[in-house]
Chain A
Amino acid sequence: MESIFGLVGDGFAVVAADTSAVHSILVHKSNEDKIMVLDSHKLVAASGEPGDRVQFTEYIQKNVALYQFRNGIPLTTAAAANFTRGELATALRKNPYMVNILMAGFDKEAGASLYYIDYIASLHKVEKGAFGYGSYFALSLMDRHYHSGMSVEEAIDLVDKCIIEIRSRLVVAPPNFVIKIVDKDGAREYAWRESIRDASVAAA
């Protein structure tokens, strides 16, 4: 089942998410990217109702882009997170989006940051955060092994620990994960952790 988590290191933030598209008891695909590159220096990892997840993150992405076109300056990560929270909060009493979000970003002024936003529109600035069934393991492991000012190697090592734990301890564990990172050079994909691939069928 869904697992997204992330943490802030020294001058960067890293987020990881499972890549399973599940409906009922069926896995439809195992290479669904649930981490959106919001703009040049922002990442949004989202879990929740698949339709809502895509619709809402794209809506936020396009609004952030619109802001940048209109005003010539990008939103800070804090502003984008607060904007996202506001959109969830206004939707909450009408037609709520069932989406949980981890937003990671890098700003010149504030450095790397991570924001935890859940579907009932609460917002927290955190050093480490997680959503979904995998969060039980990810949070415990990060409580044990996280420390401030981690290097990229240490952080990725911790992410891998979480992935291994989720795979080995969770009954409904997702097989594949994607890891993305954001630092002063921008937001980008870091690596995939795949234990299965979609079976290829020879042409008949």
Chain B
Amino acid sequence: MFQSDGPDYLLCSKLFAQDRRNTHTDTHPCSFIQLSFSFRVSQTNLYSTRSTYQRDIKCLEGTAIGILSKDGVVLVGEKKVTSKLLQTSTSTEKMYKIDDHVACAVAGIMSDANILINTARVQAQRYTFAYQEPMPVEQLVQSLCDTKQGYTQFGGLRPFGVSFLFAGWDKNYGFQLYMSDPSGNYGGWKAAAIGANNQAAQSMLKQDYKDEITREEAVQLALKVLSKTMDSTSLTSDKLELAEVFVLPSGKVKYQVCSPDALSKLLVKSGVTQPAAEAS
């Protein structure tokens, strides 16, 4: 049983899978959510090879893209409209502010994500309480991934079915973008995608990303990639969320969510959609 031809983390994942369910697929209590666990080493991405313990939640999971630029970090997310009866929330669904200098985008089971977002916020405030300084971004990501990892190691509990993109700024390393998966793996990225079609988005980003990209260009790129990888045909502001982390001239870190109106204008500007008047 302990003989494995793969690296250690694969062994752990396999043990976990055998221990808990004797199969690689499982059905969520909500029968419409199919969780498929696949253990494999994914293709080389922008930075590194990472082990993917990936959980695809079909139909429900929107894509989220993060791009690091020299003057800020951009997060774009697709809001899935599952039913036309569903009231769209006025606040953001996929983007969450963790602290003044860190925000995240979510893909996966939202109820799980809420728990993790709460712990992340608590961690960030605990750090500020102890040191009277904002928490370094990587430390925040790491503390959250430690929590996630814990649920992959012990039997009896299911892991958090959430991937995150973290965008932030700190005084040591400036702007940063991190991606984490349900197994608790994380890495720093220049551009990354999570959620549905993340591999297609990732390869497009790999092709089009350039170092020295500006924040404005990053927004354009993110919208372009999202429009091409989304299942729905037309990209409209009510299906999208755009948030940016950047530093104001005063030196203060700003998390800004783009308003639907501004987003509509951006979509037209980037040529992803036609102006509303022409479309009708």
Report which A residues bind B (CB closer than 8 A).
71, 73, 75-76, 78-79, 82-83, 86, 109
Which residues of B are found within 8 Å of A79, using beta-carbon distances? 131-133
A73 and B130 within 8 A (CB): no
Which residues of B are found within 8 Å of A75, using beta-carbon distances? 131
Interface residue total, chain B, C-beta cutoff 8 A:
10
Quick one: CB contact mask for B113-149 with A, threshold 8 Å, 1 for yes? 0000000000000000111110010110000000000
Which residues of B are found within 8 Å of A73, using beta-carbon distances? 136, 172
Which residues of A are found within 8 Å of B158, using beta-carbon distances? none
CA distance A24 to B133 in the complex (A): 42
Does B171 interact with chain A (Cβ within 8 Å)? yes
Which residues of B are found within 8 Å of A86, using beta-carbon distances? 129-130
Given A71-B139, A73-B172, A109-B171: A78 and B133 interface contact (C-beta under 8 Å): yes
Main SS at interface, chain A: helix
CA distance A86 to B129 in the complex (A): 8
Quick one: CB contact mask for B70-101 with A, threshold 8 Å, 1 for yes? 00000000000000000000000000000000
Residue of B nearest to A85 (CB): B132
Would you mind naming 22 contact pairs between A and B with Cβ atoms under 8 Å apart?
A71-B136, A71-B138, A71-B139, A73-B136, A73-B172, A75-B131, A76-B133, A78-B131, A78-B132, A78-B133, A79-B131, A79-B132, A79-B133, A82-B130, A82-B131, A82-B132, A82-B133, A83-B130, A83-B131, A86-B129, A86-B130, A109-B171
Which residues of B are found within 8 Å of A76, using beta-carbon distances? 133
CA distance A79 to B129 in the complex (A): 10
CA distance A86 to B132 in the complex (A): 10
Residue of B nearest to A75 (CB): B131
Which residues of A are found within 8 Å of B139, using beta-carbon distances? 71
Which residues of B are found within 8 Å of A109, using beta-carbon distances? 171
Which residues of A are found within 8 Å of B132, using beta-carbon distances? 78-79, 82
CA distance A73 to B133 in the complex (A): 14
Which residues of A are found within 8 Å of B130, using beta-carbon distances? 82-83, 86
Most A CB contacts (10 A, CB to CB) among B129, B130, B131 go to B131
**How many whole Å from A103's CB to the nearest CB in chain B?**
14
**How many whole Å from A110's CB to the nearest CB in chain B?**
11
CA distance A78 to B132 in the complex (A): 8
Which residues of A are found within 8 Å of B131, using beta-carbon distances? 75, 78-79, 82-83
**How many whole Å from A179's CB to the nearest CB in chain B?**
29
Which residues of B are found within 8 Å of A78, using beta-carbon distances? 131-133
Which residues of A are found within 8 Å of B171, using beta-carbon distances? 109
CA distance A75 to B136 in the complex (A): 11
Quick one: CB contact mask for B57-71 with A, threshold 8 Å, 1 for yes? 000000000000000
Residue of A nearest to B138 (CB): A71
Contacts A71-B138, A71-B139, A82-B131 aside, 16 further interface pairs with beta carbons under 8 A come to A71-B136, A73-B136, A73-B172, A75-B131, A78-B131, A78-B132, A78-B133, A79-B131, A79-B133, A82-B130, A82-B132, A83-B130, A83-B131, A86-B129, A86-B130, A109-B171
Residue of B nearest to A123 (CB): B132
Residue of B nearest to A79 (CB): B131
CA distance A73 to B171 in the complex (A): 11
Which residues of A are found within 8 Å of B136, using beta-carbon distances? 71, 73
CA distance A17 to B243 in the complex (A): 53
Task: Give 4 closest A-B pairs by Cβ, nearest first.
Answer: A79-B131, A82-B132, A79-B133, A82-B131
CA distance A71 to B136 in the complex (A): 9
Which residues of B are found within 8 Å of A82, using beta-carbon distances? 130-133
**How many whole Å from A61's CB to the nearest CB in chain B?**
16
CA distance A78 to B128 in the complex (A): 12
CA distance A71 to B139 in the complex (A): 7
**How many whole Å from B138's CB to the nearest CB in chain A?**
8
Which residues of A are found within 8 Å of B133, using beta-carbon distances? 76, 78-79, 82
Most A CB contacts (10 A, CB to CB) among B132, B138, B139 go to B132
**How many whole Å from A117's CB to the nearest CB in chain B?**
13
**How many whole Å from B275's CB to the nearest CB in chain A?**
47
**How many whole Å from A53's CB to the nearest CB in chain B?**
22
